[in-house]
Structure 1
Amino acid sequence: MTQHSHAHDDAHGKASLGPLLCWAVVFADIGSSIYYVPGILYSNVGGLAGFFVLLTMIIFVLLTLKYAEVSSRFPEGGGVVSVAAQGIHTWVGALGGMFILVSYFLTSAISCLSAIQYLSVVFPSLLPYALFITIGVLVLLGILNWIGISESAKVSLIAALVAFGGDLVVLFIVFTHISFQDAWQLFMGAFQQKGLTTTSLLVGFAGAFLAFSGLESISQLSPVMKAPRKKVISIALLLVVLTIGITSPLLTTLSTLLQPEAAGNEVLSTQLISLLGGHWGSTIVQQGVAISASLILIFAGNTAIIGAYHVFLALSRMDFLPAIILQRNRLRNTPHFSIALAAGIPILVLLIANGQINMLGDMYAFGLLGAFSITCLGLDIIRFREWRAARQHPEFARKHKLLKLAATMKITPQEAEAKLAAEVAKTPAALRKVRVFLAHWWKRLDFVLGVITTLLVLLAWTIGLFSKPLGTIFGGAVVLLGGGIAIINYMRQGSTLVLPTPLIARAPGSVIAVLGNEAHNQQVIDSALRKASSAQPVVFLYLSSQTLKRSPRPFEIFDPYLEDPKAKEAFSQAEKSARREGVPRQFVYQLATPEKLAHIWRFIRPLEIVLPESLMDEAKEINPDRLRYELTPGGKVAHLIKRW
């Protein structure tokens, strides 16, 4: 069943990002971490920094599998906000939004500060004024976003390729001067100098996740990906894993073990990759790496600002934050209040930390690992629900999968079924059995690996809560403040927040209440609730007539429902009435087309459909056993009854 988030690609505008451009945007975020993580990790775990990055790399690979699925499932974007709201609860989605905001704030602060520190390799006179210049850079990025100039994926591709090329040049130069055997002995020597205890193992494991901050970027690119999204996501994340796997563990290990004095120095530890290239290569390499590092770090800082202000906008559209955040200026039509917060809070963080990058690193884990944890947990819950529904209703699950395939391939369900049948007919029976067997066991293995990933990320987050008290205090304060504002705003509005969910199981005996005609919605709601039983839910289906003409932007949570105030008001009415009557309910949002209602009717197999007479055109593909009209003060309400 096509859910509310699967809006037509036409409505979303022309998708533009293929695998390479998606890789560029994500690598420009994750790949920038290598320039500041070695020094921050060295201050905590010494020469074992590279070991812990390599250890956490295993969890990073498992995380990419989960984020690939999140990106595919939620083409409207949103990442942790969407998956937590749908998988756990709407308010948990808001909590996830607060966590990712904490991560974005610190990403902006650390990235821009590191950019200036690397640039001081070329221009040493900048170093004493690094904090003030960083604040100026953040102000400039805020102004550029206010004007409406944000980085394009093509520019990110240039920055990512230059940075990745610089990383490879440094590795090549180092390994032409030392052998792998020497590097191995150096690495083993680190273990002898600092033995691993349980405490140091746990602290290092939790701290090394900082090296992989930015993975969430892939889920924010879904609205602007080319079709089929699943293929684009798979290739892009494979490239991310390969490029990060080649560079991050090796550069962390070499930059700290070959330069222990610099790694322990407050200033030089912020320039380790550039110094590594200069020590084993030349001044040209050192300055080239410094410039490319500055470039990609500023890109990462701007990406965080863009991501943060779009999360602010989404939380405001979900009625968690005041509507003033949605206001746009008349001159540039950009959300100036949201951008001001996204750029201003990192400036405040820098001032609080007095530009101390190790302190900023200690503050980082709370938001990053909190967002990872909620995303993983929400996805596990969604997977489990679908697995249980598939066991109870296998035919529904098959058709649900067929519709998803049709939406991905941009064809009708009938064409998708014919295409699938043709492919099956061409495949030998023995090969089909092998494929079914492998698919069955891969699903089980994928679910188990997903649960293990969730537990490991939760463990890392829990460790960080105690080992990084400063991060817990800062992140907790931001989340509590944001949560308090959300609660006050929610209570002040007096509305009931409802987010639609996909249909994952049949509900025979239920009632579908079709909403969309503002004048008759309450009559339809009341009539459907009178017909409902306590055993089966009322499925409130909103058929929207809105048309979305603009194209989505990168990092925008582009959900048609969040931009449809009439739908939100109708669902709020339905939720209040259903809660008062104690009737179980489900909410589905669709852009109105005649076949949508018929598809939902066939899949759910409800006892009846209740809708206003004015929406009967949407039901022309339905063949009920009986049609009955009910006269209400607001007009006629139709009941389409079917005995399955």
Structure 2
Amino acid sequence: MAQQSPSPTASSEQKEKKGQLGPWLCWAVVFADIGTSIYYVPGILYKTVNALSGFFVFLTMVVFILLTFKYVEVTYRFPQGGGVVTVAARALNRWFGALGGMFILVDYFLTAAISCLSGILYLSVVIPALGPQHVAIGFPITVWITLLLLLLLGVLNWIGVSESAKVSMVAAIIAFVSDLAILFTVFTHLTFMQFLALFPQMFSTHNMSPVTILVGFAGSFLAFSGLESISQLSPVMKLPRSKVGRSALFLVVLTIGLTSPLLTMLSTLLLPHAASNDVLSSQIISLLAGKWGGPFLQTEVAISASALLVFASNTAIIGSYHVFMALSNMEFFPQWLLKRNTLRGTPHFSIAMATLVPIAVLLVVHGNINVLGDMYAFGLLGAFSLTCISMDIVRLRARKIRARLSKKIDDPQKLEHAVALEENAQENEQQLSNPIESLKDIQPEDNPEQKRQPVPSQQPEIEGPWTRSTPNFVLGILTTLLVLLAWGTNLVAKPLATAFGGSVAVLGMIIAYVNYKRARKKGRVAVLTTGVESDFPAQVLAVLATDDPTNEEIIDTALAPDAPNPVVFLYLGNQKEEEQIEAFRLMEAHIDDIQAKEILGRVNARAVERDIDCRFVYREQNAQAIEEVWQSTHPKDTILSHKQAALLDGHQTSLVPAGSIANDEQVVHLQSIKN
């Protein structure tokens, strides 16, 4: 008797416990990114709005809090991750997803450049010989060291050295404790009345004209760059994501709110000479620490800031090369970007692009950190804007469906299921003919043998009362308008950012169009592999496998003109599932299996031609994968080869062969439920 495998539910629970991030680790990853902005933002902002820098960071903090509401929702609506790429592709179409990828690339390129350069500038507080006043071969020595450091980070990524959430936790704690230490030393030397006197001082040196308000508001978003990283953590969050995401971003708001506005205000008002100096403004937080904390605190902040900024630069390189790979997997970028070297197994071409572009940017601007700061706004606010618009569309779609179906369905649980079914169909430009009828497929709760057993980590979570509420919807629209106002202001006020970011985005979209059309001519349409969606109304599950001679017949059977649809295609390949779960990786385009991409691309092209709604799931080859996906999608018919059916022999399964299919045929249909 064959040994029974563990049940799908038990296996899924084991996977959930492995490598998942709770609220504190999610906070650490986000704060280690967003918390480093304070080291260079005060000096950059001061060049634009002088003493009003702190005021505008306080003002923009309100919009930042509103943005967190939307990003929490992104984490649990789109558990496969991908951030703006996934959200825009689902809410609008794949081309807006590609545009979101271009925006985030611009953001990552400039983050890598500005963070690494700032790290060296802070280190020059301790080692003055590294300062920008020393010039070699036409460039400050600071620039040469930054370029070498970026090359070193590229080499480390080629070797395969990556970041972990635990390392981020250490970095985040160091940054937060250092920030608190600075605030403590300042407030022990300022009386309460002296602190209050700083507020009128902010408004005494600059005219508060409408233009100043708009420019200051738009420019201060730089202080909150890094929020988008929370959406990349969805695949590795503990469940429920809605609770973990809310807790993590509450911690982010609390820690950023306690530090960033106050440090910006205090550094620019207490050290106006340093804030106005091109060199000292890039070290201003360390200088603020030394004002009353002495050489020890100044040195500690300089060293920790340097290390954290280099850490943030490496995070940006990791993020950007994963975006390159994701866009290549979606047939938008050339396939050579996916090639991995035989020595280390890392995508050397993507890593090279992610490293060389920031280097080129630094050389063009001669390492001027203020110019880099001005260039930053396009990609950051572009990604924020596209995410906000897409989430508003998703929310509006759900509200319309819920309002219509609530007149016909009294049961709240069935109502939410029906809304999810129709919303999912509309996202893929397919309208269910009768979503009420589809409720008949919902298995009774008191029948455990027929109850769906989805894999928890792959399921979008049901909306809560606040998510569905009108106040939340109105606040979401307001957030979108404010972010669009900031982006529009920067498009006009910062022409260099518009020129650089717009050029990168346009060039990227041209490359995407050419590559996509080339793939279509070859009979391929890029596949967005997804997590298993229990609310996807699958009629057929078609199982394909590496080097399986019956693949073509299974595809023909599943996509036959008279065959039922929608269809879920499960591809059983050789790529390890553990390799698919990685923070900062776009999970919707994670297939590195060349044969799988070729086959699924051809399947998708045929499905698009015949207007058949499909999903594509990639799993490591084993019988349990078939069982898990079947339990999640619960199709009426499962089509697979005799070889794959044999894998189920002796495996604990709910599937048995349908009696209407002869055993001597090439493919087997499994559609009965074992009693």
Measure, in 2, the Cα distance between the counterparts of 1:531 and 1:117: 65
Cα pair 2:466 2:472 within 8 Å, conserved: no
* Residue number in structure 2 paired with 1:449: 475
Amino acid at match of 1:460: A
* Residue number in structure 1 paired with 2:513: 487
Matched, 1:158 2:170: yes
Cα pair 2:110 2:358 within 8 Å, conserved: yes
Matched, 1:476 2:502: yes
* Residue number in structure 2 paired with 1:432: none
Distance 1:147 1:568, change over 3 A: closer
Cα pair 1:515 1:570 within 8 Å, conserved: no
* Residue number in structure 2 paired with 1:585: 613
Give the root-mean-square deviation of aligned CA atoms.
3.7
Distance 1:523 1:147, change over 3 A: closer
Matched, 1:201 2:205: no
Measure, in 2, the Cα distance between the counterparts of 1:438 and 1:310: 32
Distance 1:627 1:575, change over 3 A: farther
Measure, in 1, the Cα distance between the counterparts of 2:176 and 2:447: 43
Q: What is the CA-CA distance between 1:283 and the residue it aligns to? A: 1.8
Measure, in 1, the Cα distance between the counterparts of 2:464 and 2:416: 17
Q: What is the CA-CA distance between 1:281 and the residue it aligns to? A: 2.7
Distance 1:161 1:577, change over 3 A: closer
* Residue number in structure 2 paired with 1:308: 320
Q: What is the CA-CA distance between 1:596 and the residue it aligns to? A: 4.5
Amino acid at match of 1:108: A
Distance 1:589 1:158, change over 3 A: closer
Query: Equivalent of 1:374, from 354, 375, 386?
Result: 386
Matched, 1:518 2:551: yes
Matched, 1:215 2:227: yes
Query: Equivalent of 1:113, from 109, 113, 117?
Result: 117
Matched, 1:540 2:560: no
Cα pair 1:522 1:573 within 8 Å, conserved: no
Q: What is the CA-CA distance between 1:225 and the residue it aligns to? A: 3.1
Q: What is the CA-CA distance between 1:118 and the residue it aligns to? A: 0.9
SS at match of 2:114: helix
Greater alpha carbon shift after TM alignment, 556-565 vs 158-167 = 556-565
Normalised by the length of structure 2, the TM-score is 0.79
1:244-393 alignment to 2 at 5 Å? 244-391=256-403, 392=405
Measure, in 1, the Cα distance between the counterparts of 2:592 and 2:15: 13
* Residue number in structure 2 paired with 1:463: 489
Greater alpha carbon shift after TM alignment, 134-143 vs 9-18 = 9-18
- Aligned residue pair count: 594
Amino acid at match of 1:132: W
Distance 1:627 1:561, change over 3 A: farther
* Residue number in structure 2 paired with 1:40: 44
Amino acid at match of 2:465: A
Cα pair 1:402 1:416 within 8 Å, conserved: no
Amino acid at match of 1:520: E
* Residue number in structure 1 paired with 2:88: 84
Q: What is the CA-CA distance between 1:315 and the residue it aligns to? A: 1.4
Matched, 1:550 2:561: no
SS at match of 2:76: helix
1:401-412 alignment to 2 at 5 Å? none
User: What CA deviation, in whole Å up to 9, does each residue of 1:78-106 have, x standing for no partner?
Assistant: 21112122222112111111111110110
Q: What is the identity percentage for the equivalent residue pairs of Structure 1 and Structure 2?
A: 49
Cα pair 1:325 1:335 within 8 Å, conserved: yes
Measure, in 2, the Cα distance between the counterparts of 1:89 and 1:16: 30
Cα pair 1:68 1:237 within 8 Å, conserved: yes
Measure, in 1, the Cα distance between the counterparts of 2:308 and 2:225: 14
Query: Equivalent of 1:141, from 153, 158, 167?
Result: 153
Cα pair 1:74 1:222 within 8 Å, conserved: yes
SS at match of 1:257: helix
Measure, in 2, the Cα distance between the counterparts of 1:417 and 1:195: 70
Q: What is the CA-CA distance between 1:489 and the residue it aligns to? A: 1.9
Unaligned runs of 5+ in 2: 1-10, 135-140, 422-441, 449-461, 545-549, 620-624
User: What CA deviation, in whole Å up to 9, does each residue of 1:425-462 have, x standing for no partner?
Assistant: xxxxxxxxxxx999268633222222221222122111
SS at match of 2:204: helix
Distance 1:496 1:12, change over 3 A: farther
- Higher helix proportion (structure 1 or 2): 1
Q: What is the CA-CA distance between 1:110 and the residue it aligns to? A: 0.6
Measure, in 1, the Cα distance between the counterparts of 2:463 and 2:556: 50
Matched, 1:496 2:500: no
SS at match of 1:496: coil
